[in-house]
């Protein structure tokens, strides 16, 4: 996990590396949160892993019927044997006792690797990647119009509609591809995850949820604008985003949803909005981000806080359950890890999770590469502009894959 030195209000580390599973849990969505809760409480240690979008079926009466070619487990967490924390110029190395005799050797390997291979690209044996669309632009527009019909008749106010881009019988060098994606995006929640033959290469700019003692922090993103190399033009784009009624309404609706979700575990009257609709600039895009916080009772389970807010409102819509039902009907691909969350729990029960967006997912065994992008559909949405926004969000992933 890499924060890319991004200046943010809530942060503990510049980077974390967790390797070699001592214990692990892998399961589908059935009783997924109960299994995670038991594992988190029993381990009493650092655990790292992910929650896929399909865990929605564990919290509500929902189903997942769409096509799944990636075949990631619905939930996976592990207790690492080795942990590396990067804080400024300091590297902290934490080892379980069974492997603490390897510290000196590992440090020598790390130092040598940095000196000999930094910025050195490896030759890839993979050929050119041909990216396909799961749905055409015309079908995308038809589906957005179908979603607008639901909005106009009052079924929902907003929903996040996504489409998949994929490549079959293709391969990549996962680590090299991740380094390339991270270099051109430099987001605050970048993640490289390898579990057997499954890989996540994420350039996520969004935090889902963080726990610091009794404080809970959610930072949903809603509102996107392109960037310009011309400084004056770039500032105009920021100003336009700040004052765009559609983007503002998208963000405010999700903030209301997040406030409602957090209130389910919050001490009464403790849910507040610290920051509303602030624009942050990333390498590829400008984003509108809000910060919502709450206070919990000391006895509240960390996993229960996640269970009562998952999936995150920025990737579903409002009202949440209706939006998820409509999303399932209109989307063509199972989301899986996309729009789920990757993160960690500390030994004291604190946690920090991102939102899995702007990410490449790879099943090495099946030679299947995928990235999904989406956007919030509201009553003011224009299908053509929504499609353009999807292509803007997909730009970094497409560039990386086409130049691999």
Catalytic residues: 206, 222
**For 344-386, what is each residue's pLDDT tens digit?**
999 999 999 999 999 999 999 999 999 999 999 999 999 999 9
The pairing of strands 368-377 and 158-167 is antiparallel
Residues 6+ apart with CB under 8 A from 335: 52, 53, 54, 66, 162, 372
How many CA atoms lie within 13 Å of 297's alpha carbon, on the beta-carbon side?
Answer: 9
How far apart CA 148 and CA 151 sit, in angstroms, is: 5
| Confidence label for 67 from pLDDT (cuts 50, 70 and 90) | very high
| Confidence label for 7 from pLDDT (cuts 50, 70 and 90) | confident
How many CA atoms lie within 13 Å of 392's alpha carbon, on the beta-carbon side?
Answer: 19
Asked if residues 356 and 204 have their Cβ atoms less than 8 Å apart, the reply is yes
**75 or 9: which leads in pLDDT:** 75
**For 84-141, what is each residue's pLDDT tens digit?**
999 998 989 999 999 999 999 998 888 887 655 445 555 667 888 999 999 999 999 9
Residues 6+ apart with CB under 8 A from 146: 330
> Is a pLDDT exceeding 60 seen at residue 219?
yes
In this prediction, residue 124 carries a pLDDT of 64
Q: What share of the chain has pLDDT > 70, as a percent?
A: 97
pTM over 0.85: yes
Q: Which domains does the chain have, with CATH numbers?
A: 15-402 (3.60.120.10)
CA angle 75, 177, 335 (to 5 degrees): 35
> Is a pLDDT exceeding 80 seen at residue 9?
no
DSSP class of residue 199 equals E
Least confident of 121-130, 266-275, 298-307, 334-343: 121-130
* Full DSSP string of 239-287: HHHHT-HHHHHHHHHHHHHHHHHHHTTBPTT--EEEEEEEEEE-SSEEE
């Amino acid at each position: 996990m890499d924060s890319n030195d991004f200046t943010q209000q809530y942060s503990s580390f510049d980077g974390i590396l967790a390797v070699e599973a001592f214990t692990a849990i892998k399961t589908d969505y059935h009783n997924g949160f109960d299994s995670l809760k038991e594992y988190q409480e029993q381990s009493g240690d650092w655990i790292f892993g992910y929650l896929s979008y399909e865990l929605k079926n564990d919290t509500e009466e929902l189903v997942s019927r769409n096509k799944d070619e990636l075949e990631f487990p619905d939930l996976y967490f592990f207790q690492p044997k080795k942990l590396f924390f990067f804080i400024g110029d300091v590297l902290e190395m934490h080892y379980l006792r069974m492997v603490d005799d390897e510290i000196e050797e590992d440090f020598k390997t790390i130092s040598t690797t940095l000196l000999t291979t930094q910025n050195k690209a490896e030759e890839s044996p993979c050929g050119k990647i041909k990216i396909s669309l799961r749905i055409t632009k015309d079908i995308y527009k038809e589906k957005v119009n179908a979603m607008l019909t639901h909005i106009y008749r009052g079924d929902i106010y907003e929903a996040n509609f996504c489409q998949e881009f994929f490549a079959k019988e293709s391969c990549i060098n996962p680590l090299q591809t991740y380094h390339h994606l991270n270099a051109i995006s430099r987001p605050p929640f970048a993640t490289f995850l390898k579990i057997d033959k499954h890989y996540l290469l994420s350039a996520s700019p969004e935090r889902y949820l963080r726990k610091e003692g009794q404080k809970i922090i959610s930072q949903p993103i809603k509102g996107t604008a392109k960037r310009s190399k011309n400084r004056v033009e770039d500032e105009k784009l920021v100003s336009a985003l700040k004052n765009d009624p559609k983007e503002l309404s998208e963000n405010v609706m999700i903030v209301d949803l997040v406030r409602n979700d957090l209130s389910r575990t919050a001490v009464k009257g403790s849910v507040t909005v610290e920051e509303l609709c602030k624009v942050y600039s990333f390498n590829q895009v400008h984003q509108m981000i809000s910060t919502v916080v709450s206070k919990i009772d000391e006895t509240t389970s960390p996993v229960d806080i996640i269970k009562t807010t998952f999936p995150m409102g920025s990737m579903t819509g409002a009202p949440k359950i209706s939006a998820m039902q409509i999303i399932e009907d209109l989307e063509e691909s199972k989301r899986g890890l996309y729009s789920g969350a990757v993160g960690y729990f500390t030994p004291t029960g604190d946690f920090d999770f991102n939102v899995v967006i702007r990410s490449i997912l790879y099943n090495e065994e099946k030679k299947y590469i995928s990235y999904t992008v989406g956007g919030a559909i509201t009553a003011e949405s224009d299908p053509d502009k929504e499609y353009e926004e999807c292509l803007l969000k997909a730009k970094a992933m497409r560039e990386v894959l086409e130049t691999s």
